[in-house]
Structure 1
Amino acid sequence: MFSLLYLLVVFQACSVIEEVDEIKAPDWQPALALPLATAEVQLSEVIDQLETQGSLYEDAEGFLGLHFDGGAYRVTAENMIRFADITGPMPDTSISIPLPYDGLEKMRLKSGTLAYSFSSAYLGDMELVLRIDNAFKDGVSFRKVIPFTSPASLSGSLDLSGYELQFIKPTLEVAYEAILLIDGSRQRLYDLVLEFKGLQYDYLQGEFEPYEFELPADTFELNIFEQLPQANIAFEQLSLDFHIRNAFGLPIGIFADQLNVLTHRQGSMQLQAPALEAGITLNYPSLEAVGTTAQTHISLNEQNTNLSGILAASPYQVQYGLRAASYPDGPAGPGFITDTSSFEVSMSADLPLYARFSGFSLQDTVTIDPAQLDMVESASVKLSAENGLPIDVQAQLYLLDEEGRLSDSLFSPQAQILLGAEVDAQGAVVAAKEQSVLLELNAEKFAALKASRAVAFEFRFASTGAGSQAVKINKYYQLKAKLGVLINQ
């Protein structure tokens, strides 16, 4: 659609036709033919010059489209499960300390300490043996021996890093022995206090409680339409794609809370995506694939949304707000969370260059030297073309005086000079059109041309069928044109 602008540039920096015989017509018998220019345009060269945030791509058959990438955000497990410090006395030599989460099977600690404090009135050397019977490292349960001489008051802490807690029920199974070494007798420490502090995990396994993640609202820009404000254009296809990389080893559902599209013609429009509004469960890694990510791609297009109507309104921004919740379909068996678990949401769009359009207008001005026509009484202009573009073109040439003021136009009225190539029902070109236009200049028009100092070209163009048929743009489609002037005898 932008090829005519490129064509004008080529005409200004034209290559001269060396053989006048290349311009032929059965009824055109000039005394002198002045070839002016040739042009050969491929649409891919023109679209490459279009200022857009999108990148041009082509499919296997050479059909072109624009790809847009948006930003991304990442949601972590930071607030999903957190363990507060747990403090409690030891009223007995063994107790079960409950944890605030049901369904836990394993918890591997990357940091944390077991702090203790006590006093003893016994006399002699003693040992305090502290055990956590369901905490293991290298296959050995947690057991620490603290020697001291009683009577004494002691406090300290023991490192829990690297221990794996294994649960039949969500409790810490803690026990102690206070041994008087002189006779091996077991004693009671009535003021023993234990505190589990700073428990940080790097791996959790089990069936966790449902959790709702906080996701930020975001926007996605489609700036292609902003460069075409004067045109009537309706793209046929658009794919808005969410890409989600999930490292949580449990089911997470993603839901659309807000899907609005800002358009040039209808303002804000709601994007209706029933499947995403109802929720889509993300793929997730299994227990055997800890440390990997699973990918989910959600595509919104004209088949599963109301994008067809929105495309006709020229969208330029998508505003979206998503919601995510674990276990959207209820309990699903054991899963896992690591300290690096996260899911990342990004968005992209693919816009095939497949559209109906009309109302495009491109202009350019070229200075001329009419002195070479002083001795000429009449002339004609001929344009020959092989149009392999699915674009109908109308042209007008305006004559400007020394002050740049409009003095006349060559075509009356504006005439269609190049019909678009023949296309099939899918908008692909099936045959180029060969055609030529011969413009006879009457005395008034020729006098105006001789008095002019510049010519302003105006081109108006539309997709095949005066903009009624959607067409596809292919990198191999091209327009070949030759322009010549006939000086009549």
Structure 2
Amino acid sequence: MNNIASSEWDPSIAAPLIHSKLTLRDVLNDYDNQHLFTEDNTHFLFLVYKNEVFSQRADELITISDQTINTNYNISPAAIPNGDSLTLTHTTTYPFATPAGARYDTLYIKSGMMNFAINSNLNHDAKIRITMPSATKNGIPFSATLIYNYSGSLPVLVNSNFDLSDYKVVFTNVGGQSQITINYAVTIYGDGTGMSPSYTWNMGESLSNLKFSKFIGYFGQQTLNINNDTIPIDIFTHNFSGFYDFVDPKLHFIVDNSYGIPVVVNIGNFKAFSTQNSPYVVTISGSGIPIPWNILYPNFSQMGQSVRTQIDLDKNNSTIKNAIDISPQHLLCQLSGTSNPGGPTAMPNFVCDTSRLRAEIQVELPLWGKAWNFVLIDTIAFELKDVKEIESILFKINIDNGFPIDSRVQLYFTDSTSTVLDSLLNPFQQVVYGAPVGSAPDYKVISPVKKVTETTMGRARLDHLLNVKKMIIKAYINTYDATNTFVKLYSDYNIDVRVGVKAQLKIQI
């Protein structure tokens, strides 16, 4: 019985760990949570980074200031018999306060108020009729009537507000000023008392909180405040060394404009920045960048529609390939804009409140080229428990690779301070061989390549894993025959990965 109690049992257990067959699209779906990858009808892949560098609605760009009219005038009515009345008229032509150099032709008011704060020393009852012939709603001119009641004390104050929503105001432009006309008819009622030689009227008019639904006129030469903007290129963010050679990178400037206003944009200080590869900074320039850039705009028949202007930069008309060759983590672009650069045009400016000027930069990287000495590093939390009964573990990795990509992968096991305790593959070896590709122009994979990799972790190495808290995954990547051959990546490429383990146990019985 003592002999039986002290014996050991050495069983071995084998089990499949992983069997996964993935297309390149499957792999990208896990990574591409921002939908950066697109493909054409052949499944050829493009990586596209988009960044909105400017967007402004017309009602954010154009504001209508409050207007203080404040008409003052004197009246000198004749004596009015008791029970009779006398009507006196007055016309005010008010120059609307506009931004410097701007002209208002027609304003469609979305919302706003016209306010009256009348102050007068007239000692008789009266009625004030106010009209604005050029301000109409459904074709009917603005008209309002105010009642002036004299109760024995002066001055008499009359306050009233009128909603101008949905009114159309047509301005008269004289000497560079946009004017509106207001007519007043004051009817004074006789009560048998005498009249003073002169009375003062202060109408106290003002327009406040004006918002437009449509503006027609001339906006003037205004500077558009387009800030410097950074376009991150995430594919280069996690690489610690190595190079990409994209055959045909492209960059697109896109402006969508529903302002009926001529605009020019100047593109300056356009650079690519890399922390890894010299010369570290590349200026993007070339004949493809117009100086200045005239932005298309809609005409009256297109009011409410957007017109697109686009610049397409490639290796033939710019230095964009030089910029991408340094694997930049980001691009920096400075844009500035000016409205009506040539002054007033035959067609007036126009905007709706919802009109928008929007600028976007797209970096398009067709996945066609080479990559070599490219290193990706990531760190994940990892702990391995209950390994005391395991004498050794054999890992068997079987990969049937249809991607034109070679990869050497190492997994480093570290403690909480990131000190390396051990690694999975010892000696370090290549686990994925790239599939060969055919000739131009498709450069498609001819056939997949199989590679089987085995590695064993014995008892001493397993003891190292007891204090493991992290795993550092380091991948060294080259495209197939990167020195001589270009490849193209297609979404229907696939890879078949099988990982199995065989554990040798030692159990006391």
TM-score, normalised with respect to structure 2? 0.65
Query: Which residue in the other structure is 1:319 paired with?
Result: 332
Identify the match of residue 156 of structure 1 among 147, 154, 159: 159
Q: Which residue of 2 aligns with 1:176?
A: 184
The answer to whether the aligner puts 1:83 opposite 2:74 as a matched pair is: no
Distance 1:64 1:188, change over 3 A: farther
**Partners of 2:63 and 2:449 in 1: how far apart?**
72
Partner in structure 2 of residue 308 of structure 1? 321
**Contact 1:271–1:306 (8 Å) recurs in 2:** yes
Shift of 1:66: 2.3
Deviations 1:111-163 (A, max 9, x none): 021424242446x5432222223222222222322233457623323415132
Aligned equivalents of 1:149, 1:67: Cα separation in 2? 72
Task: Report the CA distance between 1:252 and its aligned residue.
Answer: 2.6
Deviation at 1:172, TM superposition (A): 1.4
Structure 2 gap segments, 5+ residues each: 1-14, 75-89, 378-390, 411-420, 462-473, 499-509
Paired residue secondary structure (2:241): coil
Partner residue of 1:201 out of 181, 199, 211: 211
How many angstroms does 1:420 deviate by?
5.0
Distance 2:136 2:185 in 1: 19
From the superposition, tell whether residues 189 and 290 of structure 1 become closer, same or farther in structure 2 (CA, over 3 Å). Answer: farther
Inter-partner Cα distance in structure 1 for 2:216 and 2:250: 38
Task: Tell me by how many angstroms 1:425 deviates.
Answer: 3.4
- 1:352-391 matches, within 5 Å, as 352-360=366-374, 389-391=403-405
Offset from partner CA, 1:186-239 (integer Å, 9 cap, x none): x97543344323151312212221211212222221121233323332222333
Deviation at 1:415, TM superposition (A): 11
**Partner of residue 260, structure 1:** 271
Q: C-alpha root-mean-square deviation of aligned residues, in Å?
A: 4.9
> Separation in 1 of the partners of 2:406 and 2:448?
11
User: Structure 1 residues 275 and 118, CA, compared in 2 at 3 Å: closer, same or farther?
Assistant: farther
Q: Are the aligned partners of 1:178 and 1:189 in contact in 2 as well (CA < 8 Å)? A: no
Unaligned runs of 5+ in 1: 1-10, 16-38, 364-368, 373-383, 397-402, 438-448, 483-489
- CA 1:54 to 1:351, structure 2 compared with 1: closer, same or farther past 3 Å? farther
Deviations 1:288-320 (A, max 9, x none): 454444444444433432111111111111122
Amino acid at match of 1:176: Y
Compare 98-107 and 238-247 and name the one that shifted more. Answer: 238-247
Q: Does 1:143 align with 2:147?
A: no
Q: Report matched runs for 1:182-331 at 5 Å.
A: 182=190, 190-198=200-208, 200-202=210-212, 203-263=214-274, 264-265=276-277, 266-272=279-285, 276=289, 278-331=291-344
CA distance, structure 2, for counterparts of residue 415 and residue 41 of structure 1: 20
Alignment partners' CA distance in 2, 1:393 and 1:406: 15
Matched letter for residue 424 of structure 1: S
Q: What do residues 387-413 of structure 1 show as CA deviations (whole Å, max 9, x unaligned)?
A: 8654578999xxxxxx97999979xxx
Q: Percent identity?
A: 18
**CA shift for structure 1 position 164:** 1.8
Contact residue 354 and residue 427 of structure 1 kept, 8 A:
no
Is residue 94–residue 181 contact of structure 2 (8 Å, CA) maintained in 1? yes
Residues 52 and 258 from structure 1, CA distance in 2 versus in 1: closer, same or farther, beyond 3 angstroms?
farther
Q: Structure 2 counterpart of 1:353, which letter?
A: L
Any conservation in 1 of the 2:135–2:168 contact (CA below 8 Å)?
Answer: yes
Q: How does 1:28-43 map to 2 (within 5 A)?
A: 42-43=23-24
Per the alignment, do residues 121 and 405 of structure 1 end up closer, same or farther by CA in structure 2, a change over 3 Å counting? closer
Q: Say how many residue pairs are matched.
A: 416
**Kept after mapping to 1: 8 A contact 2:239/2:376:** no
Match of 1:66 in 2: 47
- 3-state DSSP class of the match of 2:128? strand
Partner Cα distance (2:179, 2:376) in 1 = 76
Looking at structure 1, the residues matched to 493 and 315 of structure 2 have their Cα atoms a distance apart, in angstroms, of: 27
Residue 429 of structure 1 aligns with an amino acid whose one-letter code is K
* Residues 447-486 of structure 1 mapped to structure 2, 5 A cutoff: 462-477=478-493
Letter in 2 for 1:87: I
Give, in whole Å, the separation in 2 of the partners of 1:289 and 1:468. Answer: 53
